[in-house]
């Protein structure tokens, strides 16, 4: 798979999208991320890209993976203080 951004860059894009669209503390599915209701740089990207980004964000405490009825979900948290 050809990546036009590094996984770490996708992680930042994903977290910034969650922050600017008011998705913090909201449980989302991968479908909601890759098929957003508003224009987004995440629209129509292959699901492995946000999955890798979620793993990176999880290591920094900015997202939590959650099991939901139809698969996996995630909850975003504000940027952690450094």
81 falls in which pLDDT band (50, 70, 90)?
very low
Decide if 28 is inside a domain.
yes
Decide if 82 is inside a domain.
no
What is the reported pLDDT for 3? 58
Query: Global pTM?
Result: 0.83
Q: For the purposes of burial, counting CB atoms within 10 Å of the CB of 30, is it exposed (0-12), middle (13-18) or buried (19 or more)?
A: middle
Decide if 2 is inside a domain.
no
Decide if 48 is inside a domain.
yes
Decide if 16 is inside a domain.
yes
Decide if 66 is inside a domain.
yes
When pLDDT is averaged across residues 26-45 and rounded to a whole number, the result is 86
80 falls in which pLDDT band (50, 70, 90)?
low
Residue, of 31 and 2, whose pLDDT is higher: 31
Q: What DSSP string describes the chain?
A: ---SS-HHHHHHHHHHHHHHTT-BT-EEEHHHHHS-SS--TTTT--THHHHHHHHHHHHTTSEEEEEETTEEEEEE-PPPP-
71 falls in which pLDDT band (50, 70, 90)?
confident
Q: How many domains does the chain have?
A: 1
CATH code of the domain covering residue 49: 1.10.10.10
Beta carbons within 8 Å of 66's beta carbon, 6+ residues apart: 27, 72, 73, 74, 75
Print the domain residue range for 67.
7-76
């Amino acid at each position: 798979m050809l990546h036009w951004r590094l996984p770490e860059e996708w992680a930042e894009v994903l977290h910034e999208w969650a922050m600017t669209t008011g998705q913090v503390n909201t449980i989302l599915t991968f479908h909601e991320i890759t098929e957003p209701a508003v224009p987004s740089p995440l629209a129509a990207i292959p699901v492995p890209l946000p999955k890798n980004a979620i793993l990176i964000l999880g290591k920094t405490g900015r997202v939590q993976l959650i099991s939901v009825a139809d698969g996996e979900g995630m909850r975003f948290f504000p940027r952690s203080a450094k």
